[in-house]
Structure 1
């Protein structure tokens, strides 16, 4: 007996509007705005396009993960626990802030620093876990080329039978795709996942109803249980990411850099941060060595 495969369709398209964030940094934000406050389990998506001296100096997080994927240029990062490094084109940093991280993210050079940062929520059972990093240079990011003109990087999850080694506390897939003009591909998506596509450049047709879209759009997928998303490129510079994850279905209370389940937990996050306790030991008075790099 044959099994009917159902494709997902696009139910909403949001143009990412340019706005300022951090210290003079320019970002294109879609998830995390009034148009799409969150898309459980995703809290925010920024396409950042930054040149020194702009950046994201010392700031805290609690209750979620940040995924930084560089497309062009380099960033320095440093946290209050002594973890530091540099990420360049094609590099991935998957940081679980969990119970507490204070860090700084600053361009490493005078050149353009361009990439994506995704915020992934954590369930209540994981919000107060120990922080951790998963860092992969471009050479270690899993790749697959099903045929000429289709280049895929498997940041998290699986594509065309190839799996990423990245561990996701909140089950998540993150697939980076480049297509030559006229090429088609299908990305399998678990039926229970909520997902979206973010278009970086070029033009393509997405989903079961051939939704046409170009750069800087977030395309929200329907939740009808379809098992894949089809794409056809209309240009040679077609570049997009497909991101989907298991909904947590818990209350979301966010105040700036803290994302918890209740207002009381938000108050406690500020209390802990201000007093340097419960995961923020050493935070009060800490200043990164890279904060004033371009001063």
Structure 2
């Protein structure tokens, strides 16, 4: 029997645009307040991409930092997978645009769109390629410019999102790495959190921004998210024969502090073992998990050998988890 191959995180990186938009800034042009936003979401500020700064620009900055940490160059990459729901273009993919900037010509490159679960999905895909033995070094990125698709007059959505990117370099390893991945979706609930336009449906020629915007039924999304994340956490623990107390760190999607706290409570995990960035980043969609992961590693909180549980929930609905030994 052949020895199992794992996908080990060899390096991480992240990037946030320079511009910071606080809750007080938002209150200048929408009917809201710092108190209202913080009480309901835990968000105090978020970063906003500059004019002309694209999803690929953010992805590139995060990618080069992850590659430097891993000690690899573009020529070393066998595959690039980018999780995003806000690509620069319909085609070519953001991954292809990123590949050109990194000098990684010839390797496979594609995007994965699973909304806020995009990085979890992308990491799972990359892990499967490494497990199959077809590649050895993969760059996985979650990058978003969600603020480009917001209705800034809709306080139920515009206060939630920010821009940012995170990246990891995975390398094939015989000893440690990703232990299991778990993906789920429920397209029947799409209209609880969605963007109602696209290329082949809902597009209205001549309409400003083609009507692109985020629509969300917040209370329903909250209930479904908590239930789905509870379920996938239990599934992950059972699949690996683990107890919830075996987890060293929970690194969740940063959408809402109340959802994060509910998941931590389910795990009986104190909040000082949960990585929280939502207060400073807002919801960066597929960028949120790798951003939080990179921050936790670079701050020294997450150490080699520790057991990490990554999880996310997003529009689709999509949700999933990754358990890994860092």
The normalised TM-score by structure 1 is: 0.31
- The structure in which a higher percent of residues are helix is 2
Of structures 1 and 2, the one scoring higher in RCO (CA 8 A, sep 6+) is: 2
